[in-house]
Structures are given as C-alpha cells and as structure tokens.
Amino acid sequence: MTVVDRPSAPARQERKPHNSWAMQPRLLAVSVATPALCRSQVEIEQTMAQLWNLKGVALQRWKRIIEGTGIERRYGVMPPEDVIGLTTAQRMQAYERLAPPLAAEAALRAIQTCGITADRITELIVVSCTGMSAPGVDVALIERLGLRPTVRRSMIGFMGCFGGISGLRAAVGACAADPDAVALVVCVELCSLHMRAQSDAQSQVAAALFSDGAAAAIVASGKRFQEPFLDISPGDGTAHTKGFLEPFSGPRLTVGTSLLLPEGKDWMSWRITDTGFAMTLTRDVPVALRDAIGEFVAGAALGRPATLIVHPGGPGILDAVDGGLNLQGACGLDAARFVLQQFGNMSSGTILFVLHEALRRGCRLPALMLAFGPGLTIESMQILSAQPAEASPRLPA
C-alpha cells in the first residue's frame, strides 16, 4: 500500500454547531425493512458455486470467502439464479419495480413510529446506489405514502456505503434552515440485482457480502418547537400567544465530518457494466482505515463518544476500527457485528440498521456514526442527547 501525507482533520471549533442545543435538528425515528426472500449464507454459497460451475481450488477459495464473512443469512428481492443472466437494462427495470415498495415499507414504519402524519413531511431525501430511474423512487414514495405534492425532493446516488450519513446530513441542513421542516430520509438498496456471471475474486467478494434492505429516518427542526405558537381567535382573527410547544425529545444530530483519503480511490469502487454494477473492494481498505481512524475520530467528535455506530462493510472493516481505536470489542461494535451477521452489507442503509439496533439495545449517548465508501471516504455524524449531556466516558486508551 502506498503511503502519502493525509490532510489533517478540520479544527474542532470549525465544526461546532452555530445554534444552541435546543435548536439543533432532532432524530425522531429510525426504521428498517427487508424483502420477503431470505436465504442462509450456506444456501447462497451452494447456489453461486453451481451457477459459476466452481470446482477444485476455485470452489475452495469461494468457500473460504463465504466463511470469512461471518454472515448467517441475507435478504433479496430476487434469487441469484433469476438475476445472473440479466442485462443491466433488465436489472434497472427490476429495480424500478421492486425498490419503491420496500422503501415505502421502511418509510411508513418511521412515520408511524414518531406519530406524525404523512402531510407533515416537507423534505424527502432518497439515497440509493443500486438502481436508477426517472421518475424514481422519490415520486413513487409520494404516491405510496400520501406525501404532499409540494414536498421538496432530493436524490443522493452512487455514494456507496456512506450514503446513509450523506442523507442524514442533507436532512440536518434542511431542518436547520427551515424551522417548519420535517425531513424523511429513505435508503433503499437492491444489491441482489447485481449478482454477476463473472466469478473473479472481486465478484465473489461482492456476492458474499451484499444484501438488500431499506431504512428510513425522520429528522425535524428543533427551532419550531421552542417558539411560541399562536392561537387565532375565531371572533376577531387576532393572534394570541398561547404557549410553547414541547420540543421533540429525540436526540440531536450534528452536521458531521468527512475525510477523503485520495490514495485509496481505486481500492473501493462501484462501476456500471453491461452485466450489472461491478464492485471492487481491495485488502488495502481495512489497512488504511486502521491507520486513519484514530485521528479521524479524535477530530470528529464534539465530545467523547460513549457509543460507536459503525458501518459493517465486512468483518475486516470492523476489525480495523476495533484495532485502530483499541476498543477490544466494546463501545457498540456488537450491534454492528449483529447486523452484519443477520443481514449482510446493505450498502447505504446499513448504518441506519446499526443505529436502529443500537437504539433498540439502549445505547448510551453521545454516539458517533462512522461509515466508509469510495474515494476512499470516511464519514461521520454525531448523535447527542436531547438535553445537554453530562461528561461521557473515554474510549478505551
């Protein structure tokens, strides 16, 4: 691996939120959804070995790759045997048909969880790197969820496994700018549509790791719920100050930080071919992350995180974070390993699956979300308590 000088992380004071704690955007809900089709990793191993006609040394290499993932099962919208011979155009047709219902399932759960109605949503941010169409998933969600036709829409595409944080960052920006904003972020990835007929090492790694899933989050401006609301008298139409609405009790979100390691631009890639999208993930990635993660986390956190919400790109990625920060398996890595084991790597939405699992387990705040993707890119976002947090424990030294 070539070693080059890396840019230092931005000075901490440049990332301090300009608004008070009470006015920061809040995370109201996180939800997840998976397709109905579920296969064990053993079944996938056997199916792909047959489709690729692997024998001898090639078959043993494939089995070692599968065993090294630590994955038990994965979900998909289509079985590999129905996908492997499709053209890219046919895969995109399947994406256009199958992505909206899965995305809508996750989104509806998020809306129901936080107890708002769909017409309260002012921003719709859709994240995906496994398919393209226009009109796309965003328009389909408006119809399926009953969102207002005036909802402001954004599509974040082809950013890979850190796309979920990019979507949350867009929501934070929208909610910080508009006191009436309520943002719905939806990540939907159909990685199963890119099982390829090629049996080279990179295609095998992708076929062993990636899965399908959707995740959604709702973010709202904290400003609106700190301001007095007005009671319009039915008699003369005069507006009277009625009182203060309760602030959302959800945790606060920061804008987060990003770091590009340009020497790694060829180590992780996601490119369109005539037979689906081709993934590259080299062994240089976990080495580079292990070297860079300590300094990055030290500069990314506004306080010392009690929990790390880490994207489980694969067991090597989690081992690199564990070793680079000397976590010894603590600080929330068990949630990331659980998601990898039970769901596989679902690209952009996986980080929200880990956040969902960590919150379900009652994780301590502040928490730091970490995800990695092409570039080579490290992305983060901090989740702070609804009220100003007390001093949090240090990461293991």
Least confident of 69-73, 99-103, 314-318, 383-387: 383-387
Full set of structural domains in the chain with CATH: 30-220 (3.40.47.10), 248-384 (3.40.47.10)
Looking at the whole model, is its pTM more than 0.85? yes
Buried b (16+ CB within 10 A) or exposed e, 247-281: bbebbbbbbbbbbebebbeebbbbeeeebbbbbbb
Tell me how crowded residue 379 is: count the other CB atoms within 10 A of its CB.
28
pLDDT at 397 over 70: no
Q: Is the dihedral of CA 225, 228, 232, 237 positive or negative?
A: negative
Q: How confident is the model at residue 246 (pLDDT cuts 50, 70, 90)?
A: very low
When pLDDT is averaged across residues 274-285 and rounded to a whole number, the result is 91
- Better pLDDT: 218 or 226: 218
Catalytic sites, residue numbers = 161
Three-state secondary structure string covering 40-56? EHHHHHHHHHHHHCCCH
* Sequence-separated (6 or more) residues with CB below 8 Å from residue 278: 194, 196, 198, 202, 203, 206, 269, 270, 271, 272
pLDDT score, position 143 = 97
> What are the tens digits of pLDDT across the range 125-146?
999 999 999 999 999 999 999 9
When pLDDT is averaged across residues 90-105 and rounded to a whole number, the result is 98
When pLDDT is averaged across residues 196-211 and rounded to a whole number, the result is 95
Contact 2, 263 (CB under 8 A): yes
Q: How confident is the model at residue 223 (pLDDT cuts 50, 70, 90)?
A: low
